[in-house]
Structure formats: structure tokens, C-alpha cells
Amino acid sequence: MPVKDEETVPAIFFELKLDVLGRSVGYFTEVSGLSGEMETLSYNEGGRNDRVHRLPTRMKHPNLVLKRGVTSLTELEKWFDAVSTSPEQTSITLTMYDAELKRIRGWTFTAAYPVKWTGPTFNVAQNQFATEAIEIAHEGIQVV
């Protein structure tokens, strides 16, 4: 009998907490960069022509990109500005919630700091929400 997975539920929003502040700094509707890739080293063994050994070397992770509608809160810009004058890495936690505000899953990112903030693009001819994004570099992900 096959194993039944728990019901997959859609994520409604993501909460970002900074360990250095000990609190939430924002809620986001779009996240990208939740991935990891093992780099490999190809090694040709002398006398073996039937294959190339591929040895694991290190993990690499892309930057985490978080997007949301513009709000009156300015914690992200303050964090970005603070790091530009006094670089400090911190752990951050990203938590995914469903429509009933139930925690679905969380991730912790080590040695994180913002590397890019993008504000809204204004075009009154288009009827769209103003959005902002923050891009965060880090050294690794752990599921919590």
C-alpha cells in the first residue's frame, strides 16, 4: 500500500524574522531562492575509461529573494542601510503560513545579510500593486 502524503496546502504568506532583532520584520507573498546545489569535482582515474568519478565538494545556495506589496513599515530599508555602513551577518528565519494562519514549514538561513533592495516601479497607466523586494545572501539553509 503506498504511503499517503499529508495534504498539500497553498502558502498564503511568509514571515521573516531577524535573529539580531528577535522579531518579525515583514510578511511576503513571493519567495524565490529556496534551493541548494552540491558542486562536484570530476576525477579521471588512470586506466579507467568506462567512467569519470564525480566527487562531492561543497554546497552552494542562491540568494533568497522576498517580494511583497509596499507597506508603511521600513524595517527592510533600515536593515539594508545598516548593513551598508556596518556589515553584520545574522541568522534569519522564514516561516510559511496557510490561509488559517497555521505554520506549514520554516527555514533558517545562517550568516545572512541583504545585498539588494528594489523599490516599486511607478506607472499610473497600469492598475497594479506597488511591490518591493529584498535580496539576501547567506551561507546555508536548514529546515526547522
- Domains defined along the chain, listed by start: 13-143 (2.30.110.20)
How far from each other are the two terminal CA atoms of the chain, in whole angstroms?
Answer: 30
Asked if 6 contacts 98 with a C-beta cutoff of 8 angstroms, the reply is no
d(CA 88, CA 25): 16
Q: What are phi and psi of 81, to 5 degrees?
A: -65, -40
pLDDT recorded at residue 9: 62
pLDDT for 110 beyond 50: yes
pLDDT for 7 beyond 70: no
pLDDT for 1 beyond 50: no
- 139: which DSSP letter? S
Contacts of 40 (CB under 8 A, 6+ apart): 54, 55, 56, 57
pTM: 0.83
* pLDDT bracket for residue 3 (50, 70, 90): very low
